Structures are given as structure tokens and as C-alpha cells.
Structure 1
Amino acid sequence: MEQSSASPHVLIFPLPIQGPIKCMLKLAELLCLAPDLHVTFLNTDHNHRRLLLYTDIQSRFATYPQFRFETISDGLPEDHPRSGDRFMDLFDSLETVTKPLFKEMLSSGIGRPVTCIIADGVLNFSFEIAEEVGIPLMYFDTISPCGLWTYFCVPKLIDAGELPFEGDDLDAPIKSVPGMEGFLRRRDLPDFCRIGDLNDPVAKIIVKEVQLVPRARGLILNTFEEVDEPVLSHMRSLCPNLYPIGPLHTHLKMKLATEPTPPGPQQASSSSLWQEDRSCLKWLDAQPPKSVIYVSIGSLAMMTSDQVMEFWYGLVNSGHRFLWVRRPNSIPGGDWEGQIPKEVLEATAKRGWLVSWAPQEEVLAHPAIGGFLTHSGWNSTLESMVEGVPMVCWPYFVDQQVNSRFVSEVWKLGIDMKDTCDRVVIEKMIKDVMGLRRDEFVVSADRIAKLARESVSEGGSSSCNLERLIEDIRLMKM
């Protein structure tokens, strides 16, 4: 085989939802900055169409001659919502439709031979196929390390009798997750732990994931040693070859800024599956420093109309300015929209701004932002950390219940509001984060933001881990 055809060629395969796509595209661009690496990014047809519609992704990556996009079907009809309440539809379809297509793609070839696969940790079938076709595979788990570690501990929890739960006391302490014995409660475990049925499809996916991830060549994580060292030390007992290379969005910005001849724009661009409404940035420009609470429940979470109204009253009654993202199709039914009280609408016109989707990294970096009411997705949590923005956490699913507990009890970056949606509580927590307790959160936030920036600087922990990852990929040439 000629040297040119045997050059390192990485195939990146994200879970086809917004969060994993976003951070794996940043990884792809970081790898493209190593000129000898060839990178193929595998999107589903549906998501790739949305990226082409709402972003400059095609022109941005066109500046890297060794990069290409490939697409594959997710098997769902085009009008399927692909939302959090229909999550298992996607997993079932990936298994029945996408899996055989992926195997065929790797078997027949996509041009240059693939020498390494980087797949989302929850795509269990990718490991099986990689073994069958003889290509080394690394996993990239795009959820938080603290959330992933609780996944790894599910067998321990079962053996200790802590899963499934007995009784309905969600505040009972959890003792079988090493490193979290002092603060973890039942309600802080991932949401599937509450189901009570170990044969539940989600539980089966997680159990299989924790069996396969340690067998991969390595595990990439979007974090940095300094914030997650206690969890990472436990995780290395099962996965010794870890690559903590985050925060990826900051890492990419840092690398692009220090490139002697940047291949394209030096600022990372959008990778959103929705149209970003940039009017909110102009509105923020007119607000005083640290005066606005930013509200977003992410790309998958759903709300009922009652929950929307509790949020709305809590925001209005707090007296603070607010920027609220309400994602299309995140609130089933539309009858409630015509019944909003006049005083709520008037207060929103004075102090609020509503958008369907926002350029979140830019919003959180804006000087007007003083707090973030978040669903505690890992990308959002990291972006808030980097900008030193305190959080009110209202988790929805996956790792978010664990993340919100770490925000309040470990990192001291905000308040955990899980399992409640009451206007009085929301009002109080916003007032705490924006005023009464702001100083205590800002001390921790500033410290962690500084550590995050240092980790991706030259010689920092994440920068060194990225260099090691690239070198290990080079050594995987077939």
C-alpha cells in the first residue's frame, strides 16, 4: 500500500442529535489542524440538510482539503420530531436501519482507507462493526464524566441493592458510586434509574455501553483534568487510556487564534440544527452588565404548557431582565398561547426577549449575562463554566441530573432546581443567582473559568492530551 493511501484517516460518527454533533464537529476541526490527518464526518441525511440550511459548515470545512462529509440514513421519516420525548424511536431506527448501512459503508470503502473510527460512546453497534471490519475504534462520550461514571457504576448499584429503588424516597443517599458517597442522592442519578425496570430499553443500552467502552482503544472526553480529576481517577481504573481534551469549544478557539496561517475564519462558527435568531445579541447590547438571566432548556428537553407558565411567572416576578429561548416544538399544543395574562406580556415587553434559538456561546460570553437557567446539558454546563456564569439547573434526562448536583455541591457554581417547577421557587432561585448569593458563586466561577482557559493553552492538560490523541491516531495506520 502506498504511503499516501495509508495516511491516517479518521471517521467521526456522532450520535445524530445537536449536542454530540456540535462538539464532535469541533473535534473534527481540531484534528484537521494536523495537516497529515484525513477526517471524514458522518452525518445523518436529515441533520446534514439542516446544517447546510442554517450554518456555513460547508464553506468552513472547505478550507481543509483533507476533510469530507459523508451522510447516512437514520431511518426515520423526515417529519419525525427527533425530540427528547421520542428518543427511543431514534435508537431503534439506528439499530435496524443505520447499523447495516454503516457496515456496508466501511466494507465497501469511502475512498481513502479508514484507519480509526471515533464514535459516540452510546453507539454500541459501532464497536461490533469496527471489530468485524478490523478498524481500530475509539469512543467519544459527549456526556459529562460525572454522568458517565454513574453509568459505569450501574452494576455496582444493582449488586448493592441500590437499584432498582425500593420505596419512593428520592432523597435517600447513594453509597455505591465511588467518589460521590458524600453528596449523591437517588434523585441525582440519571433519569433511567427511576424507571424501576432493569429490562427497560434505555437501561439495556446503558448496560451494554459500559461493557463496550472499556474495550475500545481509548475514550475521549469533553472536559479538563482540573475540574474532573477525582472522577477521571476512578474512571481510569476501567478505561486507562483517557483523553480529556475539553472544553472543546474553547480549545478550538485557542488553536485557531494561535495558528500561524489559519485555514479559515479564526472564530468557530455555528453548528446549529435550528436557525439562530441573532436579534438577541443586539438586545443584550442595550442591557446593563450582568443584568440578564439567560434561559434555555437545550435541544431535546420538552415542557408542558403549565411548566412554561410557571417559568414565565417566576422570571417576571423575579424583577430581572431575561432572554428566553423557546425551541420550536418544545411545548406540545398551542392553545395556551392565547391565554397568557396581560400583566405577564407587559412585563416581558419591558424586561424580556424571546427567541426560538440563540447563538449560545456568544450569548453566554456577552457582558450583559449574569446567570443561566439551564437544563444542565454538558455542552451548556461547560460553556457556562468557561464564561464564569452562575447557573440555576433544571435537568431533564441522561446525565443532566448528575451534572446539576455537581454544579451545586461540588463546583459551587449555582443552584440545583431539579424535580420542581414552581413559580415561587423559580423566582427565589433567580434572585439568589443574580443577587443574594451571586458573590459566592462568582468566586468559584472565576476560578474554574481560569482553569479551563489554562487547560487548553500551550502546555495545558487538554492541549497535551490532544497532542497525545493525534499521535496515537497516527500510530493506528493499517
Structure 2
Amino acid sequence: MEEKRAPHVLIFPFPAQGHIHQMLTLAELLCLSSIQVTFLNTHHNHHRLLQFTNIQSRFARFPGLFRLESISDGAPDDHPRPSGFLPDLTAMMHLDSIISPHLRNLILSTRHDSGGFTCIICDGIMTFAIDVAKELGIQSIAFRTISASCFFAYLSYPHLQDGEDLDEKALTVPGMEKEKFFFRRRDLPGFSRQFRESPLMSDSVLEFCIKETFNSARASALILNTTEDLESPFLSQIRTKFHKVYAIGPLHSLAKNLRSPKIPQSHNSSSSPNNGLWEEDRSCLAWLESQPPKSVVYVSFGSIAVLTKSQLLEFWHGLVNSGYRFLWVRRPGSISGGDEAYSDDDWNIPAERGCVVKWAPQEEVLGHRAVGAFVTHSGWNSTLESMAAAVPMICWPKAADQPVISRVVGELWRVGVDMKDVCDRSTVEETVRYVMGGGGGEMGRSTAEIAEVVRRSVSEGGSSYCDFQALVKELKSGCR
């Protein structure tokens, strides 16, 4: 009889910060479950992780269970890699021809050295890895880092009609008739004029994302960083096309829950792990400590979004005019025309009113007692972290899955305001005052209720907790 091998999972994220963030957390969860993990990055992102995070010390508590590998993305080392360190915005559609041979060689060499991988968990927009796994006789699981609502929207695209009226109903969700919830054209990637102007969501990129969504069905299972308790109607529709779906999120909350009893107190500090590609400026936490409870608006547009100087200043004046304190993440390269497009005079505000940093430990910021609202691009990581912390959102999406998420946040969960396609200082001022004032009381109740839903889902017996245990069981039982 063939000897049973210990599970060894290769995790392979798409080379952008939001994707790496989620899949590193999954790697930690698998290590906590005694599953060996090899985490594969591009060379460029591998070096940034080593430079800006505590990844080595963080995973040192799993001796023999975690290792890092890297692979070329086809661009020279000195390439500037804008927009989240992609070689360029169209290269994402051609990574298969660049990476597939290197991925195949890595898998074969590992098989020779240590018995090989028993499963590949690949990013769901890099489905060429599923083909490589099939060729080499290895189980594959697709991991999509978007919400179930957005995944459902991509699955629905072949049935949608384009049109001029962006506020016309474009997509209804079966099973949600009582909520009277629907997506307008402006809520879907590629329909809004603003998003069509963005190279992040050109027609070709949109078509690629739709194709990869359907290609994910070639894997043996699908992982989504969400919970049944939040996105049940969307997950029900996804399961009509994917026979096995694991909804195991929010991953950062699940990791907190599973990490606590297994890690000695000396290693289990209150600070959150940094999964990012930017160096965090933790001085902002000291600034928050000096602010009154629920008095600060946190502003961050994520790791990829780029604003014009005009948009930047409309937000700036709207925030200043609102009268509230704010903590603003102004990432290098986040302003079109370069950082020289503004001067310090444009940001003249007393230190007690505002704090500006290049990058912040976001999970800790959102969990701080001083933070009362979050101005966000509606990335899925940011949305999950905000909901878990019961912080209401002001949503200003830029591209990709963000317009879908902002609609769900504002109209379904009612834990924020969807401000898409609007950018003027008076609207910013009015919206900040409304959200910081609790939205008439309803928003405060909704954010508290959603945070409790998240807490229950990742606790023992919760839907995400149970789905994760089922995933671990599959990874362990599938070994040959």
C-alpha cells in the first residue's frame, strides 16, 4: 500500500497587495492546523515582504510548517511596478505564459526533494495554475479575494445588457425579493463611465476577470473570504455553478479567534500582523491615543487607487470643513502626476486636527476607540475589517469589485453610505457629518449588528469556523 503523505499546500497569490494580504492569513490558519505551507510570491513582492513585514518572525512559531518561495513576474528588478507592484496593468492577462514554466519546474523540484505538494491553492484570477496542477496530478483549489456579491456579479455578466441609464436596474438577486435589493448599472464593474476611464477596469481587463471567474470551476473547490451569515443569497447562486464552496471569512477575524488559544501570550500581542507591501507608520496610533472617542475619520484609498489632485483637494476641503479630526493615509504614488502634484501648503492643518501618514496598521486603526468612520475605496479587505470593528463607512469606489461592494454596504447591510461617482467638497462634508453623527441612529445599530454577525461566524460552531474545519479535513484527507 502507498504510504500516506503529510499535507503540503502551495499557496500562490496574484501579485497585488490585497490578494497577498488574504492568502498570507490563510497560510497562517493552515499552519495553525498543522498543515505544511509553501507561500509563493513574485521576486519583487517577496523582497518587499521581507523588507517591510515581520513575516519571518511571525511564522517562526511554525517550525517545519512554513517556507517562502519566489518566482519571476517577467519584469526586470528595477521596473517601477505601479498600481500595487504589477509589472503593468495589462500584464496580468499574460502571466500564464511567463509563470507557468517556472511554476511547473518548482512543483517538480519539490516533488523530487520532499515528496511534493498535495494541493495548490491558487488565486482565482490565475487559473493557469489549475491547469498546471491537473497536468501534474495535484489537487487544486481556487481562492477568490473578492466578495461573494462581486463573484456573483461576474458570473451574471453574460446575461446583462449595457445601456446609457446608469441608474437603471441591471441585476437582481434571486431570493432577495423581500429586501428589494438590486444592482444598478453604475454598481457593476465596467458599466460606470468613471470606471471605463480607468485602466484598472478597461473592457479587456473586465473580460479577463469574467473569464477567470468561470475558469475557477475547473478547480476541485472554491474558497471565498466571506461568511454565509453575510452573503447567503449570493453564495446560494454561486453554488449552482460550483459544487464545493468554502466561505471561511472574514479571515483576519477567524485568525484572531484560532490564534489566541494556540500562541503563548508573549507572542500574541494586540498588534495585528502586517501582510502588506508597504512600511507601516505606527506613530499614528500614538496620535489616536490623544483623541476623544469616536472623534476621528480614518481615510485610506487602499494600495492601488490613484486620485487626481482635484479629487484629493475636494476630499481634503470636505474633511476640514466637516470640523472632525482625521487620520489620512497618503500612499506614495497615490496622486496622478506624482507626489510633486501637491505642495505642503495644500495640507495646512493643525496637528491636533489631522494626521497624515504614508501607510497605517489599518486593522489596529479601525479597532481604536478614537475612530468613528472610515472613508474607503471599498476594497474587500478594508470592508471586512471595518465591519468587524463596527466602524461605518463612506464608500468612494474606484474600480474592479469596489462599486459592487459599496452598493452592498450602503443598500443591503446599511453600514455605510455609497458615495460613488460623486467627488465635491460639500458632499464630502455633508456625508462625513451624517455618518459621524450615527446616520440618525440606524447606522450605529446596523454596524453593531453586523460586527456581532461576524463574531459569531468565526467563533466555534459558526458558519465560517465550520467551513474552515471542513477545508482542513479535505486538505488532510486528500493526501496520497
TM-score normalised by the chain length of structure 1: 0.92
Matching residue within 327, 339, 342 for 1:337: 342
| 1:471 matched residue in structure 2 | 473
| Structure 2 CA distance for partners of 1:153 and 1:316, relative to 1, 3 Å | same
439-448 or 87-96, which moves further after superposition?
A: 87-96
Q: Give 5+ residue unaligned stretches, structure 2.
A: none
Q: Is the 8 A contact 1:63 1:263 kept in 2?
A: no
Q: Is the 8 A contact 1:221 1:243 kept in 2?
A: yes
| 2:324 matched residue in structure 1 | 320
Q: For residues 402 and 13 of structure 1, what CA distance do their matches in structure 2 show?
A: 25
Matching residue within 32, 40, 44 for 2:38: 40
TM superposition shift of 1:227: 0.8
Counterpart of 1:77, as a letter, is P
Q: For residues 314 and 88 of structure 2, what CA distance do their matches in structure 1 show?
A: 25
| 1:31 matched residue in structure 2 | 30
Q: For residues 296 and 420 of structure 1, what CA distance do their matches in structure 2 show?
A: 17
| 1:171 matched residue in structure 2 | 167
TM superposition shift of 1:81: 2.7
| Structure 2 CA distance for partners of 1:87 and 1:415, relative to 1, 3 Å | farther
Counterpart of 1:138, as a letter, is I
Q: Is the 8 A contact 2:172 2:182 kept in 1?
A: no
| 1:154 matched residue in structure 2 | 157
Q: SS at 2:69's partner residue? A: strand
Counterpart of 1:419, as a letter, is D
Deviations 1:294-319 (A, max 9, x none): 00000111111111111111110111
Counterpart of 2:57, as a letter, is S
Q: Is the 8 A contact 2:296 2:324 kept in 1?
A: yes
Q: SS at 1:383's partner residue? A: helix
TM superposition shift of 1:86: 7.4
| 1:284 matched residue in structure 2 | 288
Matching residue within 300, 305, 314 for 2:309: 305
Q: For residues 207 and 449 of structure 1, what CA distance do their matches in structure 2 show?
A: 31
Counterpart of 1:103, as a letter, is R
Q: Is the 8 A contact 1:256 1:266 kept in 2?
A: no
| Structure 2 CA distance for partners of 1:410 and 1:8, relative to 1, 3 Å | same
Q: Is the 8 A contact 1:314 1:424 kept in 2?
A: yes
Q: SS at 1:270's partner residue? A: coil
Counterpart of 2:220, as a letter, is R
Q: SS at 2:437's partner residue? A: helix
TM superposition shift of 1:279: 0.8
1:269 is the counterpart of 2:273: yes
| 1:115 matched residue in structure 2 | 118
Q: Is the 8 A contact 1:192 1:398 kept in 2?
A: no
| Structure 2 CA distance for partners of 1:225 and 1:175, relative to 1, 3 Å | closer
| 1:454 matched residue in structure 2 | 456
Q: For residues 17 and 254 of structure 1, what CA distance do their matches in structure 2 show?
A: 26
1:7 is the counterpart of 2:12: no
Query: How do 1:46-445 residues align onto structure 2 when only pairs under 5 Å count?
Result: 46-65=44-63, 66-78=65-77, 79-83=79-83, 88-92=89-93, 94-109=95-110, 111-112=113-114, 113-157=116-160, 162=161, 165-166=162-163, 168-175=164-171, 178=174, 182-191=181-190, 195=196, 200-259=203-262, 264-265=267-268, 268-333=272-337, 334-338=339-343, 340=345, 345=348, 347-435=349-437, 437=439, 439-445=441-447
**What is the total number of aligned residue pairs between the two structures?**
466
Q: For residues 222 and 211 of structure 2, what CA distance do their matches in structure 1 show?
A: 16
| Structure 2 CA distance for partners of 1:378 and 1:260, relative to 1, 3 Å | closer
Deviations 1:372-426 (A, max 9, x none): 0000000000000000000000001111000000001000001001011111111
Q: For residues 420 and 193 of structure 1, what CA distance do their matches in structure 2 show?
A: 12
Q: For residues 2 and 274 of structure 2, what CA distance do their matches in structure 1 show?
A: 37
Q: SS at 1:353's partner residue? A: strand
Q: Percent identity?
A: 48
The root-mean-square deviation of aligned C-alpha atoms, in Å, is 2.4
Q: For residues 364 and 131 of structure 1, what CA distance do their matches in structure 2 show?
A: 42
Q: Is the 8 A contact 2:335 2:341 kept in 1?
A: no
TM superposition shift of 1:87: 5.2
| Structure 2 CA distance for partners of 1:86 and 1:146, relative to 1, 3 Å | farther
Deviations 1:109-162 (A, max 9, x none): 3643111110111112112211111111101101111111101111222xxxx1
TM-score normalised by the chain length of structure 2: 0.91
Q: Is the 8 A contact 1:386 1:453 kept in 2?
A: yes
Q: SS at 1:361's partner residue? A: helix
Q: For residues 139 and 348 of structure 1, what CA distance do their matches in structure 2 show?
A: 48
| Structure 2 CA distance for partners of 1:191 and 1:263, relative to 1, 3 Å | farther
Q: Give 5+ residue unaligned stretches, structure 1.
A: none
Q: For residues 244 and 463 of structure 2, what CA distance do their matches in structure 1 show?
A: 15
Counterpart of 1:402, as a letter, is V
Q: SS at 1:466's partner residue? A: helix
TM superposition shift of 1:59: 1.6
Q: SS at 1:443's partner residue? A: helix
| Structure 2 CA distance for partners of 1:380 and 1:260, relative to 1, 3 Å | closer
Counterpart of 2:245, as a letter, is L
Q: For residues 213 and 50 of structure 2, what CA distance do their matches in structure 1 show?
A: 34
